[in-house]
Amino acid sequence: MTETYEDRPRTGGDYEPLGAAQPAGQKENALRLRAGSATVEVAALAPDLFRVGAFFDGRPPEYASEAVAAPEGEPVPVSVHQRGEGLALSTPEAEARISLSPLRMSFADSSGRTFCADDPELGMGVVRGGSPAGDPVALYKRREEGERYFGCGERTSGLEKTGSYQVFWNVDPPAGHTAAFNNLYTSIPFLLSLRGGRAYGLLFDNTRRVEFDLAREDPARIRLGAEGGDIVYYVFCGPTPRRVLERYTWLTGRTPMPPLWALGNQQSRWSYADEEEVRRISRAFRERDIPCDVLYLDIDYMDGYRVFTWDRDRFPDPRGLISELGEEGFRVVAIVDPGVKVDENYPVYTEGRENGFYCLTPGGEEYRNAVWPGVCAFPDFTSARVREWWGGNHRALLDEGVSGVWCDMNEPSLFIPEHSTMPPDVVHPGDGRPRLHGEVHNTYGSLMARAAREGLLGLRPGERPFVITRAGYAGLQRHALQWTGDNSSWWEHLWMAMPQLQNLGLSGVAFCGVDVGGFFGDCDGELLARFTEFGVLQPFCRNHSAKGTVPQEPWAFGEPYESVCRKMIKLRYRLLPYLYTLFEECHRTGAPILRPLLFEFPEDETTYAADDEFMLGGALLAAPITRPGIEHRHVYLPEGTWFHFWSGERFEGPAHILAHAPLGEPALYARANAALPLGPEKSHTGERPAEDSLTLLIHAAEGSGSSALYEDEGDGFAYREGVYARREISCRRAGGRITVRLGEREGSYDPGRREVVLDVRGIRGARRATVNGEERPLRLGEGRVAVALEERPGETVVEIEAT
């Protein structure tokens, strides 16, 4: 049947919470207990990370998971001691407290404050007779007064999820999904809790259909449940959102460094029908002076929608076309779907069939369903052999010059019935360990993306893979970026994009974006302009639209909209040094790139309701317009000093202000004393302008701030061997004295430029400036001063006497 939105639990039956437990041994950093027929373990995987497993009906503990990149954890000094009538497992930073009769767990920080506790009545347990697929399991946690919930991956509706019911079951929703559609393409059963500025996280690691009741039925507790399997969950102790995300991405994997070109503007459509249309689009970008790095080939480039083939009528010479585009600075990314056409004359299909690489029916026959090519078979990506085979098939694309892979339809989405997915009783043979699809459904997209990434690494070992996925599970950020699927050309979807991407970032998926302009339906000039104002600030910036809709390339609606899109896309290219620095921070620490205000200001509860504002890194606050025909909107500025990016007007937070945001000047605010590295304008990332300088834009105000600049070769993996350049940058203003310090360059990469321009704003003027004690000439402007600095590896200290 068609997958639809559900707002209440599907399972019935009788819930049986775990009762009394007895200790059953200790091994290094873990305690084992027995509670009836269940085995329960609690382990400290890091000083601020605990894992709890409950395995029912005599099943042995099993923690292998597609979500987890560091399953063994790290060496942790732990102590086990009696605590009342129970036990405690302590690390230097936190403590797991275990009550034995009945078995209940709670977690406390080093001060003894409890921050995450089982519901005393319900705890964790199993629902007997609740589902024909197996007994559902459930975990009940107590909700403290004032506790708020965020995260949950790709979601509709607002940023905060308190009081909601969340379903995790990957589907391809019908066109025009609204906030009433709960589950979408990706399932990340991860929860970020905030209360009084203190954060912790919960990952409920179960790849079946999962349900979260986040204090909807009972405001005093939450329920995390799944349709079968066992309970495995992780507690990330925090105490800040930054610490939670750092540890969460340590466990589930960090976003790999992308190639620099992947940060450029990207253009797609379903479909650019043939090579002449692709050439026409590429020429238009260059002739109209609109930067662009990537063009996409949707499903019509294939021969009858057969994956890893080319339609030689539409694209007679793909290698020549892609080479020609490369000379103009364009990369090409091609779509790949998991459905393999059943065709005895199609080598990809026959090779997969002969090797037993496809999913099976319960009776052992090849499972088939219809998608774009017609009747298809579907690879079993749970098998390492199948992933290796699938990854190697990308040679047919890479040999023609394709630079990246776009994994679509990988929920998997099926046509019979429309918008359905695989039945839960389909069999994945695996590598000798068969599993039912219902057990692994939510991982199918991640495993396909993993196969693509590993394939690209094998075929081009010296290049950073570029893989996009529509579907996935917790940890997908290790393999691919996520675009949020088929949105619509609606103002409502422009608004919805912001909390959607913020919650993805809070769930570890930092490299993400929505289709700029919307996919389904007809866009118009104003909507495209406003979408672009937002879109250029996404980590992934791509305009994409559906067959049968009006064109929506940046020039499609004429003036003034073309000029607005051009200005905004050029701004993105100027921001590339800043964006690249944010990607490296994300790769190193897990910090989101597009992040909610609460990530930077967790103690300010006003930020918890900031659905349609966000931070781009720590230096820029954006509040896009999301309604037609208006030029003003409310903006909340948290504590600190802020400067309007376009006018330089100064504001003191916390403050609610009315922002003027005409087309081409979205509400954008720079944080005081943060350095914003800006590059020159360029038509694509590979272009080297004659003046390839770097500008450090700083809005100075009383107080201090710190930031960073990261650079490397933009591709390849030499950065792992130290071939990179990272500087810490600080700015301090005390009265009329401004001190900017560029720390010593870390790493062996030489950026190859002669100078850096320090552009300091927020001042009336300046008397003098020194660089490492030597006086330097000033370039004065209205409210600003600029100082030219030589690019050098050592520390540089700039002192400015401001008026």
- 770: domain CATH number is 2.60.40.1180
pLDDT band at 130; cut points 50, 70, 90: low
Beta-bridged to residue 168, according to DSSP, are 210
Asked if pLDDT for residue 8 goes beyond 80, the answer is no
Q: Which whole number is the average pLDDT over 96-117? A: 98
Residue 792: how many CB atoms within 10 A of its CB? 13
Q: How far apart, in whole angstroms, are the C-alpha atoms of residue 448 and residue 545?
A: 24
Distance between start and end Cα atoms, the chain: 71
Query: What pLDDT, on a 0 to 100 scale, did the predictor assign at position 13?
Result: 77
- pLDDT mean across residues, the chain: 96
Q: Which whole number is the average pLDDT over 561-588? A: 99
Residue 443: how many CB atoms within 10 A of its CB? 25
For residue 75, the enclosing domain spans 17-110
Query: What pLDDT, on a 0 to 100 scale, did the predictor assign at position 178?
Result: 83
**18: left (phi > 0), else alpha (psi -120 to 50), else beta?**
beta
Query: What pLDDT, on a 0 to 100 scale, did the predictor assign at position 304?
Result: 98
pLDDT in tens, 157-188: 999 999 999 999 999 998 888 877 889 999 99
E strand or H helix at 187: strand 186-187
Residue 72: how many CB atoms within 10 A of its CB? 10
Total number of domains in the chain: 3
Asked if pLDDT for residue 263 goes beyond 70, the answer is yes
Residue 486 annotated in active site: yes
Q: What is the DSSP letter of 399?
A: T
Query: What pLDDT, on a 0 to 100 scale, did the predictor assign at position 49?
Result: 98
Q: How far apart, in whole angstroms, are the C-alpha atoms of residue 117 and residue 144?
A: 9
- 502: domain CATH number is 3.20.20.80
Token pair 């990434």 is found at: 453
Q: Domain for residue 549, yes or no?
A: yes
Residues 689, 667: contact at Cβ < 8 Å?
Answer: no
Q: Which whole number is the average pLDDT over 190-200? A: 98
Q: How far apart, in whole angstroms, are the C-alpha atoms of residue 59 and residue 39?
A: 8
Asked if pLDDT for residue 232 goes beyond 50, the answer is yes
Q: How far apart, in whole angstroms, are the C-alpha atoms of residue 350 and residue 306?
A: 13
In Å, the largest CA–CA distance within the chain is 84
pLDDT band at 2; cut points 50, 70, 90: very low
Q: How far apart, in whole angstroms, are the C-alpha atoms of residue 110 and residue 52?
A: 19
Residue 778: how many CB atoms within 10 A of its CB? 18
Q: Domain for residue 106, yes or no?
A: yes
Residues 409, 378: contact at Cβ < 8 Å?
Answer: no
pLDDT band at 5; cut points 50, 70, 90: very low
Residues 242, 269: contact at Cβ < 8 Å?
Answer: no
Same domain for 320 and 453, yes or no, is yes
pLDDT in tens, 31-81: 999 999 999 999 999 999 999 999 999 999 999 999 999 877 788 999 999
pLDDT band at 129; cut points 50, 70, 90: confident
Q: Domain for residue 123, yes or no?
A: no
pLDDT in tens, 320-378: 999 999 999 999 999 999 999 999 999 999 999 999 999 999 999 999 999 999 999 99
Helices (H), 182-329: 241-252, 275-287, 318-327
CB environment 220-236: b (16+ within 10 A), e (fewer): ebbbbbbbbbbbbbbbb
Closest CA to 190 of 249, 134, 138, 230: 249
Helices (H) and strands (E) in the chain, counts: 13, 52
From the candidates 3, 411, 454, 665, give the one annotated as an active-site residue: 411
Query: What pLDDT, on a 0 to 100 scale, did the predictor assign at position 611?
Result: 95
pLDDT band at 9; cut points 50, 70, 90: low
Establish whether the linkage from the previous residue to 271 is cis, with ω within 30° of 0: yes
Same domain for 408 and 528, yes or no, is yes
Residues 763, 700: contact at Cβ < 8 Å?
Answer: yes
Q: Which whole number is the average pLDDT over 10-36? A: 90
Give the domain-ending residue among 560, 589, 618.
589
Residues 236, 65: contact at Cβ < 8 Å?
Answer: no
Same domain for 718 and 570, yes or no, is no
Q: How far apart, in whole angstroms, are the C-alpha atoms of residue 106 and residue 148?
A: 18
- 73: domain CATH number is 2.60.40.1760
Helices (H), 344-479: 347-354, 384-392, 395-398, 437-440, 444-459
Give the domain-ending residue among 61, 92, 110.
110
Query: What pLDDT, on a 0 to 100 scale, did the predictor assign at position 4?
Result: 42
Closest CA to 50 of 25, 37, 31: 31
pLDDT in tens, 382-394: 999 999 999 999 9
Give the domain-ending residue among 62, 77, 110.
110
Q: Domain for residue 634, yes or no?
A: no
Closest CA to 424 of 774, 133, 633, 80: 133
Asked if pLDDT for residue 133 goes beyond 90, the answer is no
Asked if pLDDT for residue 566 goes beyond 50, the answer is yes
Residues 521, 488: contact at Cβ < 8 Å?
Answer: yes
Query: What pLDDT, on a 0 to 100 scale, did the predictor assign at position 782?
Result: 85
Strands of the 103-109 sheet, one edge to the other? 79-83, 86-90, 94-100, 103-109, 114-117
Query: What pLDDT, on a 0 to 100 scale, did the predictor assign at position 132?
Result: 67
Lowest mean pLDDT among 247-251, 364-368, 692-696: 692-696
Q: Domain for residue 352, yes or no?
A: no
Q: Domain for residue 485, yes or no?
A: yes
E strand or H helix at 493: helix 491-505
Q: Domain for residue 602, yes or no?
A: no
From the candidates 95, 118, 300, 408, give the one annotated as an active-site residue: 408
Residues 255, 587: contact at Cβ < 8 Å?
Answer: yes
Token pair 């959607």 is found at: 500
From the candidates 119, 454, 486, 759, give the one annotated as an active-site residue: 486
Residues 232, 64: contact at Cβ < 8 Å?
Answer: no
Query: What pLDDT, on a 0 to 100 scale, did the predictor assign at position 1?
Result: 34
What Cα–Cα distance (Å) separates residue 716 from each residue in 457, 462, 727? 11, 5, 21
Helix (H, G, I), strand (E, B) or coil at 499: helix
Same domain for 705 and 566, yes or no, is no
E strand or H helix at 364: none
